[in-house]
Structure formats: structure tokens, C-alpha cells
Structure 1
Amino acid sequence: MSAEIADQLARAARNLQAHAQQSALAGKRELPTPCADFDVHRLSEHLLGILVMSGYAAEKEPLPADAPKALTEPPWVAFPPLVDRLVAAWAEPRAWEGQTTFGTDTFPAPFAGMITVMELTVHGWDLATATGQPFTADDDVVATATTVAGQITEGTRAGGAFGPEVEAAPDATPLERLLALTGRKAA
């Protein structure tokens, strides 16, 4: 199972990176995103935090006090080495063992990896949508993201990270159902 999730995490991270290219993001820092609290720049900084935090979680290392929180370079420069580090860290079997700290919470390591899949997929869609890019994700990636979102919905919604659930159309795709669960409406 851990090898499957590691592969999904790698694909989700590479998919995010593909949507964070200069050609897609240049000049769009202040555009609103489907994630109400974030414009493109703040969403990119949130994603920076996820990439960094998850990499340390995989390595079973505490997040250093000086870990990057703000983008000092554009995403198309900052993200590639972080994605490479993240993918390599989660590719290690040890990453999936025991408990790990993800942000301020401690989770079973597999769950932290699955949260990363969800974060990168949902916020990857946010970034793509805000910048006018089409977005797709592999079915198994969406399934993992949906499983995690379903498990954390109540607390996450109460904390404001997910909006109220949106009703998905009867013929909605799995991605559209995931987005609806997290309070987003696919256009």
C-alpha cells in the first residue's frame, strides 16, 4: 500500500509542478482562487508550506523554525527542488513507518502521505482554475484524496479550511465529487 500511495503522491506533486510554470503564473499573483482565503500568491505560499512540511514529515524530522514560509522566488523556481525532495523522501520505505509530525499534528505516517496527496490535488486544482488551466488527476490519486477528505471533513470544515459541502451533480466525475466535498464547485 505505501508504494502505491508514494506513487500517487509523486504524481500529484508533479501535476502541481506542471501547473506552476512561469507561462501559467507570471503576472497572476493577485488573481482570486476558489480557495476563498487565498489569491494565487498566497495559495502558492500555502503549497510551499505543504511541500516543505510533508518532506520533513517523510524524513521524520521536525520542521525547522527557519523552514521557508514565504516565497522568495516565483513558484516555477521554488517548487521543482522541493517536489524532487518530497518525492524522494516519500519513496523511502521508512517514510511510511510509525508516526510522523505534519505541521503541528502527529499522524500515522501513511495518513500524512495521504493528506499530502489530498492537499496537492485539491490545491493544484485551485491553482489551475485560478490561472485558467485545465486540470486532471488520475483516478487513484482522486480516490485517495477523497478518502482523506472524507475522514477529516468535520474538523477541517470547522477550522475553516474546507467550505460548506457543495452538491455535486448526479453525473459528476470523481474529481468533481472531491471538490464538492471540500466546498468547491467545478465549473
Structure 2
Amino acid sequence: MAQDLSGYHRSLDLFEGLVAGVPRDGWDAPSPCARWTARDVAGHVTGEQHLIRALAAGDPRPDVNDDPARFVPGDVLMSWRSARKACAAALTAEALGVLVPFGRLGELPLGDFLGGYILEPLVHAWDLAQATGQPSRLDPDLVHHAFATAHIIAAPLRARGHLAPPIPPPPSADEQTRLIAFLGRHPTR
């Protein structure tokens, strides 16, 4: 059975569109991620493409949180596209079946892991849009899927200090606003 990675690819396309929209002087702008600039956010998601490629190949996984800007030296869009292309080439049918660690849930086939991975490029697309003054409306279907994943992985991420406590959303908030607030970001920033 072929793996449906359409949501994964749509989330990467959304992120890439925002990377392409950052003005040359916008990469040093502060982001909603504490201590990270727009370049750091782009570097983190780019680094995750290297991480996914490493998972597919059984190689050591890079640390994508420490100095993430190192993944996007110079031309950020070119670095992103290069990492995305290398990652896509590694996602063979065989690689999608490789078991990868998924915290206290044990191991998952890489293809299933990528289904939940939508959360990462999606929320960081929002972060990048906020940092660089771009429209931050996300794909509602991806938001719905990502919110389900967020509920599964938020507690361990918060315990490790990788995610801020949730912020109460406004009473009439839509699902995107509730997701952003659940992830500890101020949705009306």
C-alpha cells in the first residue's frame, strides 16, 4: 500500500512559500520562539529535513535545536530547498517502513511519523510569518491534523523545556488560534 504523504508535502510547501517571502533584511527579526530569529526558525525546520533523512538512512540524528541557523548559512531558501530535496530522495518505500523512536509511544514506521510531523513545519510556518510580517493563515485541514498531534506530544516537550505552557485562547477562537495558544504562543501577536 502506498503511503499518503500529501499532508506532509503540503506543510513543507507552505513553509517553503513563507521562506521565499522573507525579505533579505528579515532574517534577523525576532520570532515567537524564545531566543530565536527568523533565520533560526528556518534553520530548525531545515535541520529537521536533515534529521528525517538521517532517520530514513539509519544515520546519526543531528541536533536541530542547538544553533539551528547553522543549517541555513547564506541563502536560506537555497539551503532549505537543498535539504528538502535530499530528504525527499531518501524517502523510499523501504525507508518509510523503517521504525523510528517516538518518545514514550515506542517506535513508529517513518511514514507514520511523517503523518504527525506536519505539526512542526506548520507551527514554524506561523512563527516565520509572525517574525517577518507575512500572512499567517494556515491550511485548516493541516491545522486540524496538527492539533491532534500536539495533544499527544505536548506534555513531553514541555517537560524538556522545548514548549511553553499553553495560553488561554479567546473564547470565540478558531482552531488555528486554539492550536497556536495551546503551543504557548500568543495568537494575536
The alignment's TM-score, normalised by the length of structure 2, stands at 0.81
The percent of aligned pairs where both chains have the same amino acid is 23
Name the counterpart of 1:76.
77
Name the counterpart of 1:156.
157
Shift of 1:160: 1.6
* Root mean square deviation, CA, Å: 2.8
* 1:9 aligned onto 2:8: yes
Shift of 1:142: 1.3
Instruction: Map 1:34-113 onto structure 2 (within 5 A).
Output: 34-57=32-55, 59-63=56-60, 69-87=70-88, 89-90=90-91, 92-100=92-100, 107-109=107-109, 110-113=111-114
The letter of the residue matching 1:121 is L
**Structure 2: distance between partners of 1:165 and 1:125:** 16
Shift of 1:64: 6.5
Shift of 1:88: 5.2
**Structure 2: distance between partners of 1:27 and 1:14:** 22
Structure 1 gaps of 5+ residues are none
Q: Which moved more, 1:168-177 or 1:81-90?
A: 81-90
Name the counterpart of 1:120.
121
Distance 1:155 1:180, change over 3 A: same
Shift of 1:115: 4.1
Distance 1:156 1:140, change over 3 A: same
Q: Which moved more, 1:74-83 or 1:116-125?
A: 74-83
Name the counterpart of 1:32.
30
**Structure 2: distance between partners of 1:18 and 1:112:** 23
The letter of the residue matching 2:58 is E
Name the counterpart of 2:182.
181
Between the two proteins, the alignment pairs up a number of residues equal to 181
* Greater relative contact order structure (CA < 8 Å, 6+ sep): 1
- Does the aligned pair in 2 maintain the 1:9–1:87 contact within 8 Å? no
Distance 1:149 1:127, change over 3 A: same
Shift of 1:35: 0.8
**Structure 2: distance between partners of 1:112 and 1:25:** 33
- Does the aligned pair in 2 maintain the 1:163–1:184 contact within 8 Å? yes
